[in-house]
Structure 1
Amino acid sequence: MQETKRQKQIGQLVQEELSTIFQRMGFNVLEGGMISIAAVKMTPDLLEAKVYLSMFQIKDKDGMLERINERMGEIKKELGRQVGKQLRRVPELTFFLDDTLDYVFKMEEVFKKIKEDDSKIKGDSDTKNDTK
Protein backbone atom coordinates (compact mmCIF):
# COMPACT_ATOMS: atom_id res chain seq x y z
CA MET A 1 0.00 0.00 0.00
CA GLN A 2 1.32 3.42 -0.95
CA GLU A 3 1.88 6.14 1.62
CA THR A 4 -0.60 9.00 1.64
CA LYS A 5 0.48 12.61 1.30
CA ARG A 6 -0.18 13.16 5.02
CA GLN A 7 1.94 10.14 6.00
CA LYS A 8 4.81 11.48 3.90
CA GLN A 9 4.47 14.98 5.39
CA ILE A 10 4.45 13.71 8.98
CA GLY A 11 7.29 11.30 8.19
CA GLN A 12 9.37 14.17 6.85
CA LEU A 13 8.56 16.31 9.90
CA VAL A 14 9.53 13.51 12.29
CA GLN A 15 12.72 12.86 10.31
CA GLU A 16 13.80 16.51 10.44
CA GLU A 17 13.05 16.83 14.16
CA LEU A 18 14.78 13.55 15.02
CA SER A 19 17.85 14.68 13.08
CA THR A 20 17.98 17.83 15.18
CA ILE A 21 17.42 15.84 18.38
CA PHE A 22 20.19 13.39 17.47
CA GLN A 23 22.57 16.32 16.88
CA ARG A 24 21.72 17.82 20.26
CA MET A 25 22.11 14.48 22.04
CA GLY A 26 25.43 13.84 20.29
CA PHE A 27 24.28 10.76 18.39
CA ASN A 28 25.09 12.13 14.94
CA VAL A 29 28.89 11.77 15.34
CA LEU A 30 30.07 8.95 17.59
CA GLU A 31 33.21 6.85 17.83
CA GLY A 32 34.59 8.29 14.60
CA GLY A 33 31.42 7.39 12.70
CA MET A 34 28.20 9.08 11.77
CA ILE A 35 24.53 8.30 12.29
CA SER A 36 21.81 9.83 10.18
CA ILE A 37 18.09 9.35 9.85
CA ALA A 38 17.75 7.69 6.43
CA ALA A 39 13.94 7.55 6.34
CA VAL A 40 10.82 7.62 8.48
CA LYS A 41 7.78 5.58 7.47
CA MET A 42 4.49 6.37 9.20
CA THR A 43 1.57 3.99 9.67
CA PRO A 44 -1.76 5.15 8.17
CA ASP A 45 -3.08 6.16 11.62
CA LEU A 46 0.13 8.20 12.23
CA LEU A 47 0.61 6.55 15.63
CA GLU A 48 3.74 4.58 14.77
CA ALA A 49 6.93 5.64 13.04
CA LYS A 50 9.53 3.25 11.67
CA VAL A 51 12.81 5.15 11.80
CA TYR A 52 15.61 3.85 9.59
CA LEU A 53 19.10 4.77 10.80
CA SER A 54 22.10 4.85 8.53
CA MET A 55 25.37 4.23 10.35
CA PHE A 56 28.64 5.04 8.62
CA GLN A 57 31.94 3.68 9.99
CA ILE A 58 30.41 2.46 13.24
CA LYS A 59 31.80 -0.93 14.17
CA ASP A 60 29.12 -2.20 16.58
CA LYS A 61 25.90 -1.15 14.86
CA ASP A 62 23.66 -3.38 16.97
CA GLY A 63 25.23 -2.04 20.16
CA MET A 64 24.69 1.52 18.95
CA LEU A 65 21.05 0.75 18.13
CA GLU A 66 20.70 -0.62 21.66
CA ARG A 67 22.17 2.59 23.14
CA ILE A 68 19.69 4.65 21.14
CA ASN A 69 16.80 2.46 22.29
CA GLU A 70 17.92 2.91 25.91
CA ARG A 71 17.40 6.66 25.50
CA MET A 72 14.04 6.21 23.74
CA GLY A 73 12.08 7.97 26.51
CA GLU A 74 14.30 11.02 26.30
CA ILE A 75 14.13 11.07 22.50
CA LYS A 76 10.34 10.71 22.45
CA LYS A 77 9.90 13.42 25.09
CA GLU A 78 12.03 15.84 23.07
CA LEU A 79 10.15 14.92 19.89
CA GLY A 80 6.88 15.64 21.72
CA ARG A 81 8.11 19.13 22.56
CA GLN A 82 9.00 19.79 18.93
CA VAL A 83 5.93 18.39 17.16
CA GLY A 84 3.35 18.71 19.92
CA LYS A 85 1.62 21.64 18.25
CA GLN A 86 1.33 19.83 14.90
CA LEU A 87 0.30 16.34 16.05
CA ARG A 88 -2.33 15.14 18.47
CA ARG A 89 -0.17 12.26 19.62
CA VAL A 90 3.54 11.68 19.39
CA PRO A 91 4.09 8.49 17.38
CA GLU A 92 5.68 5.41 18.88
CA LEU A 93 9.19 5.15 17.52
CA THR A 94 10.80 1.93 16.33
CA PHE A 95 14.40 2.14 15.16
CA PHE A 96 15.82 -0.07 12.41
CA LEU A 97 19.22 -0.27 10.77
CA ASP A 98 19.22 0.92 7.17
CA ASP A 99 21.79 -1.20 5.38
CA THR A 100 21.54 0.64 2.06
CA LEU A 101 24.93 2.31 2.58
CA ASP A 102 26.57 -1.06 3.34
CA TYR A 103 24.96 -2.50 0.21
CA VAL A 104 26.28 0.38 -1.91
CA PHE A 105 29.84 -0.11 -0.63
CA LYS A 106 29.61 -3.87 -1.18
CA MET A 107 28.38 -3.34 -4.75
CA GLU A 108 31.20 -0.85 -5.43
CA GLU A 109 33.71 -3.47 -4.27
CA VAL A 110 32.12 -6.09 -6.55
CA PHE A 111 32.25 -3.74 -9.54
CA LYS A 112 35.86 -2.82 -8.77
CA LYS A 113 36.79 -6.52 -8.63
CA ILE A 114 34.98 -7.22 -11.90
CA LYS A 115 36.80 -4.32 -13.56
CA GLU A 116 40.17 -5.56 -12.26
CA ASP A 117 39.45 -9.13 -13.43
CA ASP A 118 38.28 -7.81 -16.79
CA SER A 119 41.46 -5.77 -17.27
CA LYS A 120 43.57 -8.81 -16.33
CA ILE A 121 41.74 -10.93 -18.90
CA LYS A 122 42.18 -8.26 -21.58
CA GLY A 123 45.84 -7.93 -20.63
CA ASP A 124 46.36 -11.68 -20.94
CA SER A 125 44.65 -11.84 -24.33
CA ASP A 126 46.72 -8.88 -25.58
CA THR A 127 49.99 -10.62 -24.66
CA LYS A 128 48.85 -13.86 -26.36
CA ASN A 129 48.01 -11.96 -29.54
CA ASP A 130 51.41 -10.25 -29.52
CA THR A 131 53.30 -13.57 -29.41
CA LYS A 132 51.63 -14.95 -32.54
Structure 2
Amino acid sequence: MRKNSIKNTRINGEVQRELSRIISREIKDPRIAPMTSVVDAVVTSDLKQCKVYISVLGDQEAKDKTMEGLNSAVGYIRRELAHTVNLRNTPEITFILDDSIEYGVEMSKKIDELQK
Protein backbone atom coordinates (compact mmCIF):
# COMPACT_ATOMS: atom_id res chain seq x y z
CA MET A 1 0.00 0.00 0.00
CA ARG A 2 1.39 3.37 -0.98
CA LYS A 3 1.65 6.08 1.64
CA ASN A 4 -0.56 8.49 -0.32
CA SER A 5 -3.40 5.98 -0.76
CA ILE A 6 -5.21 7.19 2.38
CA LYS A 7 -4.82 10.80 1.24
CA ASN A 8 -5.95 9.84 -2.27
CA THR A 9 -9.02 8.04 -0.87
CA ARG A 10 -9.92 11.16 1.12
CA ILE A 11 -9.48 13.38 -1.95
CA ASN A 12 -11.62 11.01 -4.07
CA GLY A 13 -14.40 11.12 -1.46
CA GLU A 14 -14.27 14.90 -1.15
CA VAL A 15 -14.29 15.39 -4.93
CA GLN A 16 -17.19 12.93 -5.28
CA ARG A 17 -19.26 14.78 -2.63
CA GLU A 18 -18.60 18.19 -4.19
CA LEU A 19 -19.34 17.00 -7.72
CA SER A 20 -22.62 15.48 -6.51
CA ARG A 21 -23.55 18.80 -4.94
CA ILE A 22 -22.52 20.85 -7.99
CA ILE A 23 -24.37 18.59 -10.45
CA SER A 24 -27.56 18.34 -8.38
CA ARG A 25 -27.79 21.95 -7.13
CA GLU A 26 -25.68 24.30 -9.24
CA ILE A 27 -26.22 23.20 -12.83
CA LYS A 28 -29.48 24.32 -14.40
CA ASP A 29 -29.08 22.50 -17.74
CA PRO A 30 -32.43 20.89 -18.69
CA ARG A 31 -30.59 18.07 -20.48
CA ILE A 32 -29.30 16.68 -17.18
CA ALA A 33 -31.77 14.14 -15.79
CA PRO A 34 -33.05 14.78 -12.24
CA MET A 35 -32.04 11.25 -11.22
CA THR A 36 -28.34 11.69 -11.95
CA SER A 37 -25.85 10.62 -9.32
CA VAL A 38 -22.08 10.52 -8.97
CA VAL A 39 -21.22 6.88 -8.27
CA ASP A 40 -17.48 7.41 -7.88
CA ALA A 41 -14.69 9.88 -8.53
CA VAL A 42 -11.14 8.69 -9.07
CA VAL A 43 -8.44 11.36 -8.99
CA THR A 44 -4.95 10.38 -10.15
CA SER A 45 -2.19 10.73 -7.56
CA ASP A 46 -0.69 13.70 -9.47
CA LEU A 47 -4.12 15.46 -9.29
CA LYS A 48 -4.15 16.09 -13.04
CA GLN A 49 -7.01 13.77 -14.12
CA CYS A 50 -10.32 12.78 -12.57
CA LYS A 51 -12.64 10.06 -13.85
CA VAL A 52 -16.19 10.66 -12.67
CA TYR A 53 -18.59 7.72 -12.89
CA ILE A 54 -22.16 8.89 -13.45
CA SER A 55 -25.36 6.90 -13.03
CA VAL A 56 -28.53 8.12 -14.76
CA LEU A 57 -31.91 6.59 -14.04
CA GLY A 58 -33.90 6.61 -17.27
CA ASP A 59 -33.87 5.50 -20.88
CA GLN A 60 -30.92 5.69 -23.27
CA GLU A 61 -32.02 9.11 -24.55
CA ALA A 62 -31.97 10.53 -20.99
CA LYS A 63 -28.48 9.07 -20.47
CA ASP A 64 -27.19 10.53 -23.75
CA LYS A 65 -28.66 13.97 -23.05
CA THR A 66 -27.30 13.95 -19.49
CA MET A 67 -23.79 13.08 -20.67
CA GLU A 68 -24.06 15.79 -23.36
CA GLY A 69 -25.14 18.34 -20.72
CA LEU A 70 -22.37 17.36 -18.30
CA ASN A 71 -19.70 17.48 -21.00
CA SER A 72 -20.83 20.95 -22.10
CA ALA A 73 -20.74 22.17 -18.47
CA VAL A 74 -17.37 20.59 -17.63
CA GLY A 75 -15.56 23.97 -17.54
CA TYR A 76 -18.09 25.41 -15.08
CA ILE A 77 -18.03 22.23 -12.96
CA ARG A 78 -14.21 22.32 -12.84
CA ARG A 79 -14.21 26.00 -11.78
CA GLU A 80 -16.75 25.31 -9.02
CA LEU A 81 -14.67 22.35 -7.86
CA ALA A 82 -11.58 24.59 -7.73
CA HIS A 83 -13.45 27.04 -5.45
CA THR A 84 -14.69 24.41 -3.00
CA VAL A 85 -11.94 21.75 -2.87
CA ASN A 86 -8.52 23.01 -1.89
CA LEU A 87 -6.12 21.15 -4.19
CA ARG A 88 -2.79 22.15 -5.74
CA ASN A 89 -4.21 21.44 -9.19
CA THR A 90 -7.82 21.16 -10.22
CA PRO A 91 -8.00 17.95 -12.24
CA GLU A 92 -9.30 17.62 -15.80
CA ILE A 93 -12.69 15.92 -15.48
CA THR A 94 -13.80 12.99 -17.64
CA PHE A 95 -17.38 11.77 -17.24
CA ILE A 96 -18.04 8.04 -17.67
CA LEU A 97 -21.53 6.55 -17.78
CA ASP A 98 -21.89 3.82 -15.13
CA ASP A 99 -24.77 1.35 -15.48
CA SER A 100 -23.88 -0.71 -12.39
CA ILE A 101 -26.77 0.59 -10.22
CA GLU A 102 -29.29 -0.06 -12.99
CA TYR A 103 -27.77 -3.50 -13.58
CA GLY A 104 -28.07 -4.29 -9.85
CA VAL A 105 -31.73 -3.24 -9.80
CA GLU A 106 -32.41 -5.42 -12.87
CA MET A 107 -30.67 -8.43 -11.30
CA SER A 108 -32.60 -7.92 -8.06
CA LYS A 109 -35.90 -7.95 -9.99
CA LYS A 110 -34.89 -11.18 -11.77
CA ILE A 111 -33.96 -12.83 -8.46
CA ASP A 112 -37.31 -11.78 -6.97
CA GLU A 113 -39.13 -13.24 -10.00
CA LEU A 114 -37.26 -16.53 -9.64
CA GLN A 115 -38.17 -16.79 -5.96
CA LYS A 116 -41.90 -16.49 -6.73
Decide: shared fold, TM above 0.5: yes
Match in the other structure for 2:94: 94
Q: Distance in 2 between matches of 1:80 and 1:91?
A: 9
Instruction: Give 3-state SS (helix, strand or coil) of 1:39's partner.
Output: strand
Could you list the structure 1 runs, at least 4 aligned residues long, displaced by more than 3 angstroms after superposition: none
By how many angstroms is 1:58 displaced? 5.2
Unaligned stretches of 5+ residues in structure 2: none
* Contact kept? 1:52, 1:96, Cα under 8 Å: yes
Normalising to structure 2: TM-score of the pair? 0.82
Q: Is it true that 1:21 corresponds to 2:15 in the alignment?
A: no
Instruction: Give 3-state SS (helix, strand or coil) of 1:45's partner.
Output: coil
By how many angstroms is 1:59 displaced? 4.7
Q: Distance in 2 between matches of 1:89 and 1:19?
A: 20
Q: Distance in 2 between matches of 1:58 and 1:36?
A: 15
Q: Give percent identity, aligned residues only.
A: 33
By how many angstroms is 1:115 displaced? 2.0
* Contact kept? 1:51, 1:94, Cα under 8 Å: yes
Aligned-residue Cα RMSD (Å) equals 2.2
Q: Distance in 1 between matches of 2:78 and 2:50?
A: 11
Q: Distance in 2 between matches of 1:47 and 1:79?
A: 13
Normalising to structure 1: TM-score of the pair? 0.73
The worse-fitting range, judged by mean Cα deviation, of 57-66 and 16-25 is 57-66
Q: How does 1:1-80 map to 2 (within 5 A)?
A: 4-22=5-23, 23-26=25-28, 33-57=34-58, 59-60=60-61, 61-80=63-82
Match in the other structure for 2:105: 105
Amino acid corresponding to residue 49 of structure 1 in structure 2: C
Unaligned stretches of 5+ residues in structure 1: 117-132
Q: Aligned residue pairs: how many?
A: 111
* 1:51-89 CA-partner distances (Å, limit 9, x unpaired): 111212355202211111011111111111112xx2111
